[in-house]
């Protein structure tokens, strides 16, 4: 995984942070947050908070007391120890796209299938730039709704040996993910000692947690598995149109959920989540890769560090309908501030297209190229006597060239970044080779990568136990 040792880019003054701090305090104490699950509301009531049905008004100092119990950093184990990750500090971990119901393959846009889900698992395993395949890489339409989470978790556990994300569509689905983690890693004690999955808990913004997400959250927290508490904020739709207002709402919603997690299990690992962008006020459609989302991302990193929390944001986000120039520049508009702000857990790092409706094979490769370039760019420059190349100057002298210099010949294989996707051919050679643009070259790369994919080894006894569990639970669910 990548360790970002470059300075953080922070844009909020002390006065601005204080103003935002007052804003979230007013929201939680005067407006309150709805937790539409009796068990969640009861936890707050037992802790002495003001509860009226599902509406919970919180003492801000109480919230901060709970938030302070969360670890600043933690580890997540993979079944291949070489792929285990660290969350927090200078560490950045990247996961692929999450959630789309559709898939794009070249010019074809279609419903996602289980075969697509498995392909994206394989691609996520194959590219070392990704630390995790994620979770719902796409939503397979050709498997039964009630049990497809079993197939998806099984694919994540067997086609990759990296950390994975769990199902969050219901409490029972979350419990199944936990049980499958126990099988894969040997016991409940093993996964509680060092967690094995990360799960996304979205806030039903504005100011509401729904019962399905809460039920899933309770299952994961009680098993000691980290949750990403993420307000879902599109400014103009789920939050006011100003960035400061969206930031205060994000703080109120996320901190309230983190407080609940700590009430349920003090010290449970959590991630301060941010999914903040804006609505196109002409069309009403969501926009991604915008200047506003980049500013919000930079601010969120500073805010999360202010509270001592690891945080999630960023990714290769775009509203483009296809893997074109818009898709690339909007993805870079989001991924660059992701690195500048040092996000610890980055979802949607590869494959996101069409405002999150589509998992795209070609965009997956484009995003991998962006990740490769930014990791190179954010590696600190080493300056020493050897790098000054005094001997090369002595050898070449005035008016010469360095192509054949000994210093060049010793280093030419590794001295510069070598692209995966980009073309530097001259026009004649490029035309002779088929005049392929970046999207076409990306198509060739993902297909070749799948052909060369090798499934990581897994103990056959463990595989059999997982298969038995999936078969039994599918039958219990009526499939």
> What DSSP line would sit under 328-347, residue for residue?
HHHHHHHHHHHHHHT-SEE-
Q: Answer yes or no: pTM beyond 0.85.
A: yes
Give the mean pLDDT of 88-97: 98
DSSP collapsed to 3 states, 200-250: EEEECCCCEECHHHHHHHHHHHHCCCCEEEEEEEEECCCECCCHHHHHHHH
- Alpha helix (H) residue ranges in 243-360: 243-264, 291-307, 325-341
Task: Judge whether residue 421 has pLDDT over 90.
Answer: yes
How far apart (Å, rounded) are the C-alpha atoms in residues 247 and 23? 9
Cβ distance 24 to 255 under 8 Å? yes
Q: Tell me: the pLDDT tens digits for 64-84?
A: 999 999 999 999 999 999 999
Give the mean pLDDT of 172-176: 98
How far apart (Å, rounded) are the C-alpha atoms in residues 313 and 230? 9
Task: State the greatest distance between any 2 C-alpha atoms of the chain, in Å, as a whole number.
Answer: 82
Task: Judge whether residue 330 has pLDDT over 90.
Answer: yes
Full strand arrangement of the beta sheet holding 208-209: 50-52, 55-57, 33-35, 208-209
Q: Tell me: the pLDDT tens digits for 378-410?
A: 999 999 999 999 999 999 999 999 999 999 999
Q: Tell me: the pLDDT tens digits for 256-277?
A: 999 999 999 999 999 999 999 9
Residues forming beta bridges with residue 312, ordered by sequence position: 273, 345
Q: Tell me: the pLDDT tens digits for 192-225?
A: 999 999 999 999 999 999 999 999 999 999 999 9
CA distances from 409 to 396, 405, 425, 460 (A): 13, 6, 22, 49
In the chain, count H helices and then E strands. Answer: 18, 20
How far apart (Å, rounded) are the C-alpha atoms in residues 183 and 79? 11
Residues forming beta bridges with residue 110, ordered by sequence position: 103
For the chain, give the percent of residues with pLDDT over 70: 100
How far apart (Å, rounded) are the C-alpha atoms in residues 48 and 40? 13
Q: Tell me: the pLDDT tens digits for 361-380?
A: 999 999 999 999 999 999 99
Q: Tell me: the pLDDT tens digits for 14-50?
A: 999 999 999 999 999 999 999 999 999 999 999 999 9
Strand 275-279, strand 270-273: pairing: unpaired
pLDDT at 131: 98
How far apart (Å, rounded) are the C-alpha atoms in residues 247 and 12? 12
> What DSSP line would sit under 144-164, residue for residue?
-TTTHHHHHHHHHHHH--S-E
What's the mean pLDDT when you consider all of the chain? Answer: 97
How far apart (Å, rounded) are the C-alpha atoms in residues 59 and 47? 11
Based on the number of CB atoms within 10 Å of its own CB, is 324 exposed (0-12), middle (13-18) or buried (19 or more)?
middle
pLDDT at 479: 80
How far apart (Å, rounded) are the C-alpha atoms in residues 46 and 470? 38
Q: Which helix (H) or strand (E) holds 139?
A: none
Task: Judge whether residue 58 has pLDDT over 90.
Answer: yes
Look at residue 199 and give its three-state secondary structure: strand
Residues forming beta bridges with residue 200, ordered by sequence position: 228
For residue 9, count other CB atoms closer than 10 A to its CB: 14
Domain boundaries 2-9+67-377, corresponding CATH code? 3.20.20.480
């Amino acid at each position: 995984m990548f360790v970002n040792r470059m300075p953080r880019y922070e844009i909020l003054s002390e006065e601005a942070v204080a103003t935002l701090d007052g804003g979230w305090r007013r929201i939680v104490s005067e407006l309150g947050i709805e937790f539409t699950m009796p068990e969640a509301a009861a936890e707050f009531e037992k802790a002495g908070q003001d509860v009226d049905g599902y509406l919970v008004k919180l003492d801000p100092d109480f919230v901060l007391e709970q938030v302070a119990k969360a670890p600043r950093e933690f580890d997540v184990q993979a079944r291949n120890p070489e792929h285990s990750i660290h969350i927090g500090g200078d560490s950045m971990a990247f996961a692929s796209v999450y959630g789309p119901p559709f898939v794009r393959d070249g010019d074809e846009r279609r419903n996602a299938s289980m075969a697509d889900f498995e392909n994206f698992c394989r691609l996520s395993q194959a590219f070392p730039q990704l630390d995790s395949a994620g979770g719902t890489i796409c939503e397979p339409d050709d498997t039964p709704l009630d049990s497809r989470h079993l197939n998806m978790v099984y694919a994540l556990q067997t086609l990759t040996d990296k950390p994975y994300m769990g199902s969050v569509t219901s409490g029972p689905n979350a419990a199944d993910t936990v049980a499958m983690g126990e099988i894969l890693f040997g016991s409940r004690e093993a996964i509680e000692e060092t967690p094995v999955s990360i799960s996304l808990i979205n806030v039903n913004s504005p100011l509401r947690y729904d019962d399905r997400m809460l039920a899933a959250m309770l299952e994961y927290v009680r098993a000691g598995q980290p949750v990403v508490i993420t307000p879902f904020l599109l400014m103009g739709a789920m939050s006011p149109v100003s960035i400061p207002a969206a930031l205060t709402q994000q703080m109120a919603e996320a901190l309230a959920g983190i407080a609940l997690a700590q009430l349920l299990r003090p010290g449970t690992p959590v991630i301060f989540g941010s999914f903040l962008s804006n609505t196109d006020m002409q069309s009403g459609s969501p926009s991604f890769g915008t200047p506003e989302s980049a500013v919000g991302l930079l601010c969120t990193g500073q805010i999360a560090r202010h509270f001592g929390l690891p945080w999630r944001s960023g990714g290769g986000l775009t509203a483009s309908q296809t893997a074109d120039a818009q898709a690339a520049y909007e993805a870079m508009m989001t991924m660059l501030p992701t690195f500048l702000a040092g996000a610890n857990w980055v979802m949607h790092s590869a494959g996101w297209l069409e405002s999150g409706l589509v998992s795209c094979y070609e965009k997956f490769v484009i995003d991998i190229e962006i990740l490769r370039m930014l990791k190179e760019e954010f590696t600190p420059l080493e300056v020493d006597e050897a790098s000054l190349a005094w001997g090369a100057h002595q050898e070449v002298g005035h008016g010469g060239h360095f192509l054949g210099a000994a210093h060049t010949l010793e280093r030419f294989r590794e001295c510069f970044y070598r692209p995966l996707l980009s073309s530097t051919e001259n026009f004649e050679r490029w035309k002779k080779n088929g005049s392929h643009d970046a999207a076409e070259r990306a198509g060739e790369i993902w297909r070749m990568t799948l052909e060369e994919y090798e499934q990581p080894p897994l103990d056959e006894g463990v595989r059999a136990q997982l298969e038995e569990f999936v078969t039994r639970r599918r039958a219990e669910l009526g499939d």
